[in-house]
């Protein structure tokens, strides 16, 4: 005999049955954050992609891009004996990577400035790299979500008050990527402070008008100023700098007027030229100590300052004076 089965579905209006949670597949590893790396990390240069787990991408990895170019430096304390540095404000080191975890190994020293960690256009952290000695620390581990991301290490032209410069150094980039059986679910952020709800005012009384706020001056932010100096002997007396009239090897300095602190220095080249690029918000002047000449460094509407020319009466050149 055959058996007949009848299925009856009853719909009761107004009754809600919550959906049952779906279990994760067997063998799935759940994490609340990327795991902390354990040094030494494997070098991505020695391995072909894809990269799973923690890997170190050195500062000279082929896909690390520098704009404008950064200078490579050798150091026995660096991750693989080398790092890259820049003194140019607002220059960047960019790197495309795939993974959920990220941290950056950078350089600290007495002449280091500040830089930002930017991922997919969002600033994750601002790092002050000033320190008493040369070290190679790492940032915190950042969770950036799965997928492909763009990292930028961006110099911002700021520094610690005690720092001697604005240098930014990149040693290595550490990336963590989970496998197909690993899932990161960050914990929900819970606030213990109740949100106040608006209440109607019981009574409004004007006791007194608030004091009038006086406008305050906004300090001038530091900016990059380019200055050009040329020193020449006016041999033909035409009061212009002609070829072969430049004086080489003359010391030229940029000093703060208030403190007389030297913020840049150099020597004229074979053409008699020397160019400075300084970042300052203080009044400054250009000084030629040998000839006792000084000019006030002009701050125009743009970052370029005019050239300063020192024409000398023909005579014994400094290179011939014992």
13-72 confidence digits (pLDDT tens) = 766 667 766 766 666 677 778 889 988 999 999 888 889 999 999 999 999 999 999 999
Domain with CATH 2.60.40.10 in the chain: 223-316
Cβ atoms within 10 Å, residue 20: 6
Among 188, 186, 187, 179, residue whose Cα is nearest residue 28: 179
Instruction: Give 81-138 pLDDT, tens digit per residue.
Output: 999 999 998 999 999 999 999 999 999 999 999 999 999 999 999 999 999 999 999 9
The C-alpha atoms of residue 231 and residue 40 are separated, in whole angstroms, by 54
Q: Which residue spans of the chain are classified as CATH 2.60.120.260?
A: 29-184
Yes or no: say if 250 and 267 are a contact pair by the CB < 8 Å rule: yes
Fold of 29-184: Jelly Rolls (2.60.120)
Asked if residue 97 lies in contact with residue 175, where contact means CB atoms within 8 angstroms, the answer is: yes
Dist CA 105 CA 112 (whole Å):
14
On whether the CB atoms of residues 318 and 247 are closer than 8 A, the answer is yes
Is residue 71 within 8 Å of residue 55, measured between CB atoms? no
255 to 224, 278, 298: CA distances (angstroms):
15, 10, 13
- Percent of the chain scoring above 70 in pLDDT: 82
Distance CA 139, CA 122 (A): 16
pLDDT band at 294 (very low <50, low <70, confident <90, very high): confident
Is the model's pLDDT at 211 over the cut of 50? yes
H-assigned helices in 112-215: none
pLDDT confidence of 321, banded at 50, 70, 90? very low
Architecture of domain 223-316: Sandwich (2.60)
Question: Dmax of the chain from CA atoms?
Answer: 129
Q: Centre a 10 Å sphere on the Cβ of residue 313 and count the other Cβ atoms it contains.
A: 8
């Amino acid at each position: 005999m055959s058996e007949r089965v009848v299925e009856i579905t009853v719909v009761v209006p107004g009754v809600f049955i919550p959906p049952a949670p779906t279990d994760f597949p067997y063998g799935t590893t759940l994490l609340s954050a990327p795991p902390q790396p354990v040094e030494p990390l494997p070098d991505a240069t020695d391995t072909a992609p894809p990269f799973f787990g923690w890997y170190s991408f050195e500062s000279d990895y082929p896909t690390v891009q520098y704009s404008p170019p950064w200078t490579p430096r050798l150091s026995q304390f660096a991750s693989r004996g080398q790092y890259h540095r820049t003194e140019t404000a607002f220059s960047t080191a960019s790197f495309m990577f795939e993974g959920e975890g990220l941290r950056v190994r950078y350089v600290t020293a007495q002449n280091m400035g500040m830089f930002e960690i930017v991922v997919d256009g969002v600033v994750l952290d601002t790092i002050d790299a000033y320190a008493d000695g040369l070290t190679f620390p790492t940032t915190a581990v950042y969770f950036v979500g799965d997928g492909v991301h763009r990292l930028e290490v961006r110099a911002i032209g700021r520094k610690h008050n005690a720092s001697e410069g604005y240098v930014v150094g990149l040693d290595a980039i550490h990336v963590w990527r989970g496998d197909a059986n690993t899932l990161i679910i960050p914990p929900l952020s819970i606030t213990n402070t109740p949100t106040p709800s608006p209440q109607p005012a019981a009574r409004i009384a004007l006791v007194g008008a608030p004091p009038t706020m006086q406008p305050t001056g906004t300090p001038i932010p530091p900016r990059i100023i380019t200055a050009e100096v040329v020193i020449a002997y006016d041999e033909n007396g035409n009061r212009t700098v002609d070829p072969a009239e430049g004086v080489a090897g003359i010391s030229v300095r940029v000093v703060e007027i208030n403190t007389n602190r030297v913020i840049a220095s150099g020597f004229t080249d074979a053409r008699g030229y020397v160019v400075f690029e300084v970042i300052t918000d203080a009044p400054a002047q250009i000084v030629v100590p040998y000839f006792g000449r000084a000019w006030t460094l002009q701050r125009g509407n743009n970052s370029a300052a005019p050239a300063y020319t020192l024409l000398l009466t023909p005579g014994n050149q400094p290179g011939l004076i014992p």
